[in-house]
């Protein structure tokens, strides 16, 4: 069984949220983690990713206090064969190391009025 977490975190700047996320990841042994509205830049989210050494991933930076998305996967189970980063989405192709089946994962976080926020 594959376990996926998708969470609109509404910001990962508070240590209690980071601790809760780490505890949940550890207890549930998640395969794939999708976090929206991190309100962080890649260098900041990297500290969270690096502490979970079994996970690799990519981040689309926030713009100030808006947005920010991260896609992570357990690299003992998955190989990333393709990644497309955009301000509002991350498309990831992952190959399962056990059976070589591929999945495509989209992690999306976009403003309500998408066209006006393209700049």
- For residue 113, is pLDDT > 70? no
Q: How far is CA 54 from the centre of its chain?
A: 14
CATH number of the domain at 28, please. Answer: 3.60.10.10
pTM of the model: 0.84
- The H or E element that residue 25 is part of is helix 15-28
What is the span of the domain harbouring residue 64?
4-117
pLDDT at 92: 97
What distance lies between CA 112 and its chain's CA centroid?
A: 20
Q: What is the pLDDT of residue 34?
A: 94
Q: Which residues contact 13 (CB under 8 A, 6 or more apart)?
A: 39, 40
Number of domains in the chain: 1
pLDDT, tens digit, 9 for 90 and up, residues 84-111: 998 889 999 999 999 989 999 999 988 7
pLDDT tens per residue across span 46-89 = 777 666 678 888 888 777 667 789 999 999 999 999 999 988 89
In the DSSP assignment, the letter for residue 59 is E
């Amino acid at each position: 069984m594959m376990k996926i977490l998708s969470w609109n975190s509404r910001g990962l700047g508070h240590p209690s949220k980071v601790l809760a996320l780490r505890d949940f990841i550890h207890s549930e042994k998640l395969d794939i983690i999708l976090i929206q509205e991190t309100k962080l830049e890649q260098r900041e989210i990297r500290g969270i990713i690096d502490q979970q050494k079994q996970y690799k991933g990519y981040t689309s930076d926030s713009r100030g206090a808006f947005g920010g998305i991260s896609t992570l996967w357990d690299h003992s189970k998955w190989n990333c064969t393709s990644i497309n980063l955009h301000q509002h989405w991350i498309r990831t192709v992952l190959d399962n190391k056990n059976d070589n089946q591929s999945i495509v994962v989209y992690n999306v976080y976009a403003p309500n009025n998408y066209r006006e926020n393209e700049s």
